[in-house]
Structure 1
């Protein structure tokens, strides 16, 4: 199983990196069934950036959780880098996520007792990378997101925007195949947000990393290759908003 997953990391630009087929999630609430996702279909190619927009409560966070293997669908399948998440047991799924998926949550979820550097390096250390090597890579990413000078500070000593930048560095430190982002620039000033977008552009172009970004920000959506709207459990293609000059 590991060999198959590792081969998926070399997916060529333009090949499918993420595939959802008949993706359905139904929650049982008392006597009623609530269908949040209803036979959803989605393909995201290597090096492609897709924004997903939709009203609050439309199921965007549920979708991200399914794409990242944090929840299981009621029906249907998610494949990443050619690997079906349903085919993986808990241990193998955790290993696969560490190797292939980066997460940027709306709330940073940094560990309070660790420094920014330690938080950013943690996915590599969990993988078994030597601490010195992991922290060297983490420093590179912290520098890219403008946090090099704050690397030795703990989350409680950082602003909300600074914590979000550390979380973005942590998501990218493993060179993932797919990055899932929930309002990644919501706490960032315009200049920092622009630098994050530039970094995403570079990764999509040079490493064939794919991005799925949930956002309410028309400017962020306009910057992506495609915009999809989630409504009544299904996705539909949308025209890209006009970027604000």
Structure 2
């Protein structure tokens, strides 16, 4: 059977999954313009995990918003799976995000009135998949992140680490091309952060999707394939150091 265009875009590991070209974001603040990102370039390959570190206010969240199509650059473009986000209208961009991009936020953003299962299944339901099928897929992901026995609990009944695991399941339920993570261990205790780190390692080994992780956690960054530092609007690759064992 002939491969679809989407399957072709998700082909073998090593193909380009994310590409930023001359990415620039300038904000107007009163009479002055503030340049947050300045001609930034970045390429991330399928199956690769890239950590981005930098001081507070360096533009890391702005960069994630641009990569996820939540904001538009002042200049330059973002390409994911060969598709330029600038070429997509609002409706098409929403569909593209749903199919290709998974988000893991620092504060998880789970819906309080929904169970863990319903939260994890939501991206597929938004896509138009039958609830039964969406929840069957979500159960598999919750089991994978160690949350099968908590699937019927609402966020208020879950610990911080458990909520973050549900958020990771939600990000992966659509089998995305790219997962964007904003401080995924920032609000977790050391033990829970270590378990999330082990989970990310497992998922990276078994998945062809690319990961871009914004973090202040140098131990988390050291576990990734590459570490980039964002400073004065530009990314520079950091020297490799042995991963923590």
TM range (shorter): over 0.9
Q: Where does 1:160-171 land on structure 2 (aligned, <5 Å)?
A: 160-171=160-171
**Secondary structure of 1:34's partner?**
strand
Deviates more, 1:64-73 or 1:129-138: 129-138
Deviation at 1:234, TM superposition (A): 0.3
**Secondary structure of 1:107's partner?**
coil
Deviation at 1:107, TM superposition (A): 1.0
Q: Determine whether 1:224 maps to 2:194.
A: no
**Secondary structure of 1:109's partner?**
coil
1:228–1:94 distance in 2 versus 1, CA, 3 Å:
same
Deviates more, 1:15-24 or 1:160-169: 160-169
CA distance in 1, matches of 2:18, 2:244: 30
CA distance in 2, matches of 1:198, 1:9: 28
Deviates more, 1:136-145 or 1:119-128: 136-145
Deviation at 1:194, TM superposition (A): 4.0
Counterpart for residue 120 of structure 1: 120
Give the TM-score taking structure 2 as reference length.
0.93
Are the aligned partners of 1:203 and 1:209 in contact in 2 as well (CA < 8 Å)? no
Deviates more, 1:158-167 or 1:81-90: 158-167
Structure 2 gap ranges (5+): none
Runs of 4+ in structure 1 displaced over 4 angstroms? 189-192
1:198–1:171 distance in 2 versus 1, CA, 3 Å:
same
| RMSD of Structure 2 on Structure 1 (CA) | 1.8
Deviation at 1:149, TM superposition (A): 1.8
**Secondary structure of 2:44's partner?**
strand
Structure 1 gap ranges (5+): none
Deviates more, 1:125-134 or 1:191-200: 191-200
1:144–1:191 distance in 2 versus 1, CA, 3 Å:
farther
Q: Determine whether 1:151 maps to 2:176.
A: no
Are the aligned partners of 1:103 and 1:181 in contact in 2 as well (CA < 8 Å)? yes
CA distance in 2, matches of 1:186, 1:8: 35
Are the aligned partners of 1:164 and 1:187 in contact in 2 as well (CA < 8 Å)? no
Deviations 1:213-244 (A, max 9, x none): 00111111111000000000000000244444
Counterpart for residue 204 of structure 2: 204
1:82–1:19 distance in 2 versus 1, CA, 3 Å:
same
Deviations 1:137-172 (A, max 9, x none): 111111222222211111122222221111111001
Deviation at 1:33, TM superposition (A): 0.2
Counterpart for residue 91 of structure 2: 91
CA distance in 2, matches of 1:12, 1:148: 30
Are the aligned partners of 2:223 and 2:244 in contact in 1 as well (CA < 8 Å)? no
Are the aligned partners of 2:155 and 2:163 in contact in 1 as well (CA < 8 Å)? yes
